Structure formats: C-alpha cells, structure tokens
Amino acid sequence: MRLAAESTRSSGGPRVSAWVVTLLAFTALFASACRTNAPRSSPERDAPRTELPREPERWLVLGDSIAWDGRWAAHLQTWLACVDGEAAADVIDCALPSETLSCLSEPEHLRHGFPRPCLFERLARVLDAVRPDFVLVCYGMNDALYQPFDEARFAPFRAGVERLARELARRQIEFVLLTPPPFDETRTELAPGARYDDVLGTYSAWLVAQRFERGATLDLHGALVRRLASERLVDPASTLSPDGVHLDERGQRLFACELIAALSRRRGGHLAEPPLTTQLTLTAELTLTAAADAGETALELVRVRRDAWLSETGHTRPGLPRGLPVSDATKVAAGLRARMLRAASDASSPR
C-alpha cells in the first residue's frame, strides 16, 4: 500500500512521499481484510494496468548499541511486513555500539582500546550509500558519559542533535528523534550522586520540546519509565535492562511496541505521546506474538543488512563482525525478506 506516487531511487535523493508512517494505523487484521475484500467499483478499476516495479522504502536506524542489537528494529520490520505486505519498507539498521551525537568520550572508555565513535565521522557516508526515505534516531544513553549532569556535556549533545536535524532536513529526509530508554540504577553502580536516569530525563525533556523541519520527536524514555514504575508496584525487582543500560528481549519489544503505536497515531505532523497502555500498543504486541516466525526471520534479515552496510560505509569502532559485501547481502536479504513476508501473511490470514 502506498500513499502517494514516488520517484525512483536512482535519482540520487529520497523519494517524495506522504509520511509513510501513517500506514501503521492499520492493524494486521484490517490490512488482511482489505487485501481480500477490496471493492471493485468500476470497469476502470478492473482494467489491467502496467506499472513500473517499485523498490521498498528504506527506513534507516541510527543509534548506539541498544539500536545496534537489532531486536527493536526487527520488531518494527515484522510489523511493517504484517501491515503492508509486499510494500513493506526495508529497515536498515546502521546503529553503532558506543557511539554518541555529542562526540564526547570519557577517559575510562579507553580501557576498551578506543574512544567513543562520533556519528558525524560517518554520517555522510551512510546517508550517501543507503539513501533513506525515513530515519529513526536514538542517542543519549552514552552522551552524558554516565556522569552527573553537567552543562559542559549537555551542550555538545544539543549541538549534535541540531546538526543532525539540519543535515537530514537539507537532504529532505523525514525523521523521528527518539529519547533513550531508561538507565536502571538498581542494576549497576555509577559515581556517587550521578543519578544518571535523571540526567537522561533532562536530555529527553529538552529533546521532545524541540521542533525540527521535516522531523518529529518521541519520548520513549518517559514511556518506559512509567511502564517500569507501574510494574515495580507489583514486583520491585522488575527491570528492562539487567545490566542497567542494554534492553533485554522484553525491553526491546516494549520499546518497539511503543514506537509502533506512536507512529500509528501520527496526525497533522505530530507524534502522540505513548501512554502506558493503548489499543495500538496492545495491537502491536498481539501482532508480534502472532507473527513470531516472521519475527525470527526479520531479526536475521536486519542483522545481515546491518553488518553489510556498516562494513560498506566504514566506522571507527573495532570489534564488530565483518559483514558480507552489500551485493551479496542484498541477495541473501531478498530470500529472507520473501520468507518473512510469507510468514507474516500466514500470521495475518484468518484461521
């Protein structure tokens, strides 16, 4: 399903389209019903048409290790496959562990053998190579360097956000900036008085207050903080990140469902804030559960593409797996995408 006509990718720039994220407003069941029961209202509609084949849109993911993990991107890819079938966008995960927007790195990080990478060292190469139609961005966890709040660290983060937003707008690419997931201070110790999740809350509050040309912001930090607080009323040991930083499987899934719900509710250029529970987050969770087989393939697909594109575009972060050449990965991805779409179709078909 498409909302507007598009130019081809060979033109060298992003294709012009309506905000494709409104496609997510249709649930998998509704989409299936539409595909099987679409009305035939006129002879003209029944007449055969000759159309040029269209490449799927490309949704690029930029972020740190939480996004590099690939699971929330794969959940999003699974949802798109269930809702949009053959027209589903391709989710290209080019996140990089340890990376920041602030381009800061704490001296202690050198014990790993390298300073933190900065997105802007590679941003132009990634955008030129991938040529995305839409970008999802999630930074912040690393940007304050796991230290108490300090304006000297906050200012470079703000500057990095603004620089990225300007570059995406200059290229006429639509984007959403996501706040980072919570830091769980019950699971790891930092410097006394760091109150690191409060720092992330300050960064997140600033981010969601901004307005950007061609871009929107979404407070997933706040959504997951509220979710975790609710769960801890029943189970004080509940967590979404066992090491305090990296989301576990449940955390990745909740992150994805809140994202899907917010994108689904986009109207009039704004993203609705995700409350604790909504019909759309529940729909997302049920859809992902029903499409578990498609989800397994989607994760493999996301990671094959991720490793290939990161290797192709280059970065300064050592220790990552070497991906296939993009030409080879594209062939592998085609088979995985076809398998994912079949599984998604089976999951959304009436029983």
Return the ∠ at Cα 311 (arms to 305 and 317), rounded to 5°. Answer: 115
Predicted confidence (pLDDT) at residue 77 exceeds the cutoff of 70? yes
Q: Which of 99, 91, 89 is nearest to 136 (CA)?
A: 91
Q: Percent of the chain having pLDDT more than 70?
A: 80
If you search the block for the tokens 């930092």, which residue do you land on? Answer: 190
The total of other beta-carbon atoms located within 10 Å of residue 144's CB is: 25
In this predicted structure, the answer to whether residue 269 has a pLDDT above a threshold of 90 is no
- The two tokens of residue 61 are 């993911």
Q: What is the pLDDT of residues 137-195, one digit of tens each?
A: 999 999 999 999 999 999 999 999 999 999 999 999 999 999 999 999 889 878 777 89
Pairwise CA distance, residues 293 & 291, whole Å: 6
Give Cα separations from 348 to 27, 40, 201, 281 (angstroms).
9, 22, 38, 17
Q: Each residue of 85-112: pLDDT tens digit? A: 999 999 999 999 999 999 999 998 998 8
β-pair type (90-93, 174-178): unpaired
Residues in the chain: 351
Interior/surface letters 68-106, b for 16+ CB within 10 angstroms, e for the rest: bbbbbbbbbbbbbbbbbbeebbbbbbbbbbbbbbbbbbe
Tokens of 105: 């790195």
pLDDT tens, 105-134?
999 899 889 999 999 999 999 999 999 999
Token pair 């019950």: residue:
186
Beta carbons of 219 and 182 less than 8 angstroms apart: no
Position 40 scores a pLDDT of 37
In this structure, of 51-55, 81-85, 340-344, the range with the lowest mean pLDDT score is 51-55
Question: What is the C-alpha separation between 144 and 199, in angstroms, rounded?
Answer: 8
* CB atoms near residue 188 (< 10 Å): 14
- Our CA dihedral for 280, 232, 226, 250, rounded to 10 degrees, sits at -50
Question: Going from the N-terminus, what domains does the chain have, and what CATH number goes with each?
Answer: 54-348 (3.40.50.1110)
Q: What's the chain's Rg over C-alpha atoms?
A: 20
- Average the pLDDT over each of 49-58, 82-91, 325-334 and give the range with the smallest value: 49-58
Nearest alpha carbon to residue 165 among 98, 225, 120, 113? 120
Q: For 138, list phi and psi in degrees, rounded to 5.
A: -140, 100
d(CA 151, CA 287): 43
